[in-house]
A and B are shown apart, each in its own frame.
Chain A
């Protein structure tokens, strides 16, 4: 940190920043590897998250192969299936989605969107990435450990997680998993402090909280939640590590295992569940809120219309964030609890549906009579809304104790959570990548590859997860590698399972097109220019594309309006950038790189 006088108006980011105030890289290493520039860190985070996400994708293929064609693949033993399942779930939720939304998009977009030159603590920000990378490496190492990675399920419930019956339970698998999570949390906390303080203190002049784009609101609130929720996982992991490594009995009851009395005595597995879900439920929204925010901006930009009910959207984001801390026990209905508690948690769970529904209405009303451009980001945003509503409805079913008890631990639950927290956020990730890639590289992603990718992914996701609801209703349990000859399972389930597997493989391979597109377009994509979507937010008004070190050239932009001035009647263009003083304010300070409207071709409503 640079030492600045701690008092008075000096803390408002000055319009001009002298050369010395900004951290400058001095060599290739500090520029591209040990970089403290949030944009580079963002790309490092995203690259790492996508790489480990690919591993999780391959694991899902292996699981699907086993479920669709049981007995065909010798190497997928039941133990291996559990390991694939655990690693798949854990990687997808934490190492891919959390890291990508907060570490990737958060790092890239927060400073640009609030009009800052960088994060407030760049050095800590860099450490955050390297610790995250270390966490990923430890996780990967567990694949090569003797006995393999843990197979305890992504929820890691004790006592089974550290017993010999579970793969990796008595080997190094579970230890590496716990250590990796602990590292992840430490690294995330470092990054999270940056995101929060940058939003609070790093905003440029004129950028009031209520002028922030919803993307920033979403990422900001999710970060605050993550900062408060991850400690619960941290505590659970540390205590489990104690139980596993030195035989204490925090979670472990007295157990006779293979005829031998274990050293544990009297511990409480339920306590772990409380701690885990105290983190686990907010985690769902930690992934969802950034997605909500990003999708709002995508819809508004590509429908050329201001977001409907901006204030309501902000309140809903904050409200969801607060409420999601008092619903955790809805994951524990089947673990047994006082009926009044069940009632309480069922009620809070259903209340959360209110702000969530408000958001959905507002998206739809934003689209209503908008000038909808079916660009690829827009397609993905629409796909998100549909999928999210779909998953949300089944969520209302599961939020009720009486419905949840029979459906718990069936494929219905798997279908539900893949819809809400698997497919829906992934749609936003794709939409966001197509939307901001031109800013990150200066070139557009290839349109036809993009459209192919979208349709296969969207339709494919439904082909995979929609039938799963039926499979679940029939009673097929989740986390079973094989169904065998179970009387209540009709043959149609087996046919469906084969169908789902084929769909999953197809969707999986379609992602290769996306990956190829990412690399191909760096060189061969269409030139994007500074503001290809003709968007209002500050990241499109930078001094160049990709934005240079320090983001905004010599002078920071001054913000004159909110982020959603699209199709304003009487304006020369169908959007007014946030740093555009507008015609009314003659004599306002001239902003460099300001009104991007001037001189741009007057492409009213043309396909952007």
Chain B
């Protein structure tokens, strides 16, 4: 359960940092009277949707950290054989990086009010993501063609399961990104699209990081890395 505990420690560090700035030491019973300083709610100035997405991404992070924990727990058993990594995964990773970059460009374009760039960047982001998903499907077919099915080797089962989970999250994001695309191409003003573009970009960046970590875990580098650290420590 080490992966999830590390992740939780991160979440708690953020929560603790935030709580530390919330005047938890104040004595509310002494503070009657009108509010003196605005913003008097002491709420952060983040847009609620961004905060909401942030919280959701923390949940997604916990989900994948738990899958990784399970992966490491299962790995130590005798019947474990590492799964082969289709080379296609490198290409897919590239696609996802492109999508992330494109969406970052979209954010910039939206802020600058450049309609054409925004449309283009959103479209590229969506298409490269679709390409990523297609690539993952091909990677599955590749494995299956070589006789690796989901049931017979736990490492392979994990591969199918974890990539499917990650893919589902991308599909969910594509629903929103698709809608944003439609709105952009129908001629909505960039100013109105800023928020949703920013949300998409944020989501994609995090899913990219998640994928990089998952890739490292599935390919076995993460385990090697942990081993090296252990040897260095002892």
Contacts and interface: CB of A to CB of B under 8 A. Distances in A.
Interface of A: 1, 3-4, 6-9, 11-13, 120-121, 189, 193-194, 196-197, 200-211, 224, 227-228, 231-232, 234-235, 238-239, 242, 246-250, 263, 265-268, 271, 274-275, 278, 306, 310-311, 314-315, 318, 322, 325-326, 558-562, 564-565, 576, 581-582, 584-585, 588-589
Contacts of A246: 150-151
A562 to B, nearest CB: 4
B210 interface: no
Contacts of B225: none
Contacts of B4: 232, 278
A267 B154 contact: yes
Interface in B23-57: 23-29, 31-35, 38-52, 55-56
Contacts of A1: 48-49
A12 B40 contact: yes
B127 interface: no
Contacts of B43: 11-12, 200-203
A585 B195 CA distance: 40
A541 to B, nearest CB: 16
A315 to B, nearest CB: 7
B27 to A, nearest CB: 7
10 contacts: A3-B195, A209-B42, A210-B26, A232-B4, A242-B157, A248-B150, A274-B1, A278-B1, A561-B33, A582-B32
Contact of B154 (A210, A235, A248, A581): A248
Q: Which of B32, B41, B198 has the most CB of A within 10 A?
A: B41
6 closest residue pairs by CB, A with B = A266-B79, A562-B28, A206-B35, A248-B157, A561-B32, A231-B63
A564 B35 CA distance: 17
B154 A249 contact: yes
Given A227-B58, A239-B70, A267-B154, A588 B161 contact: no
Given A12-B43, A232-B4, A250-B158, 20 more contacts: A3-B192, A9-B38, A121-B48, A197-B51, A201-B43, A206-B34, A207-B41, A208-B26, A208-B41, A209-B42, A210-B28, A227-B58, A246-B150, A248-B154, A249-B79, A249-B157, A266-B78, A271-B70, A560-B32, A562-B28
B210 to A, nearest CB: 13
A203 B34 contact: no
A228 B24 contact: no
Contacts of B32: 560-562, 565, 576, 582, 584
B77 interface: yes
Contact of B44 (A193, A201, A234, A585): A201
Contacts of A564: 29
Given A227-B55, A247-B151, A248-B157, A560 B33 contact: yes
B19 interface: yes
B24 A210 contact: yes
A228 B62 contact: yes
A208 B44 contact: no
Contact of A9 (B26, B29, B39, B46): B39
Contacts of A121: 48-49, 52
A414 to B, nearest CB: 27
Contacts of B47: 4, 6, 11
B124 interface: no
A225 B230 CA distance: 32
Contacts of A210: 22-24, 26, 28
Contacts of A235: 63, 66-67, 70
A301 to B, nearest CB: 16
A207 B31 CA distance: 12
Most buried by B among A7, A13, A193, A306: A193
B8 interface: yes
Interface residues of B, number: 63
A249 B35 CA distance: 60
Contacts of B27: 311
Contact of A239 (B26, B33, B161): B161
B209 interface: no
A228 B55 CA distance: 10
B74 interface: yes
B171 interface: no
Interface in B194-230: 194-195, 198
Contact of A275 (B50, B59, B66): B66
A534 B59 CA distance: 40
Nearest to A246: B151
Contacts of B58: 227-228
B82 interface: no
B191 to A, nearest CB: 9
B35 A263 contact: no
Contacts of A263: 151
Contacts of B80: 266
Given A239-B70, A248-B150, A6 B195 contact: yes
B195 to A, nearest CB: 6
Given A208-B40, A234-B63, A239-B161, A196 B55 contact: yes
Contacts of B25: 311
Nearest to A270: B73
Interface in B155-211: 157-158, 161, 165, 192, 194-195, 198
A111 B150 CA distance: 46
A317 to B, nearest CB: 11
Given A189-B56, A311-B24, A208 B42 contact: yes
A200 B51 contact: yes
Given A201-B48, A205-B41, A278-B1, A211 B157 contact: no
B6 interface: no
A189 B31 contact: no
Contact of B8 (A205, A228, A588): A228
B28 A211 contact: yes
Nearest to B80: A266
Contacts of A3: 192, 195
Contacts of B46: 11, 201
B44 to A, nearest CB: 7
A11 B41 CA distance: 10
B88 interface: no
B11 interface: yes
A261 to B, nearest CB: 14
A264 to B, nearest CB: 9
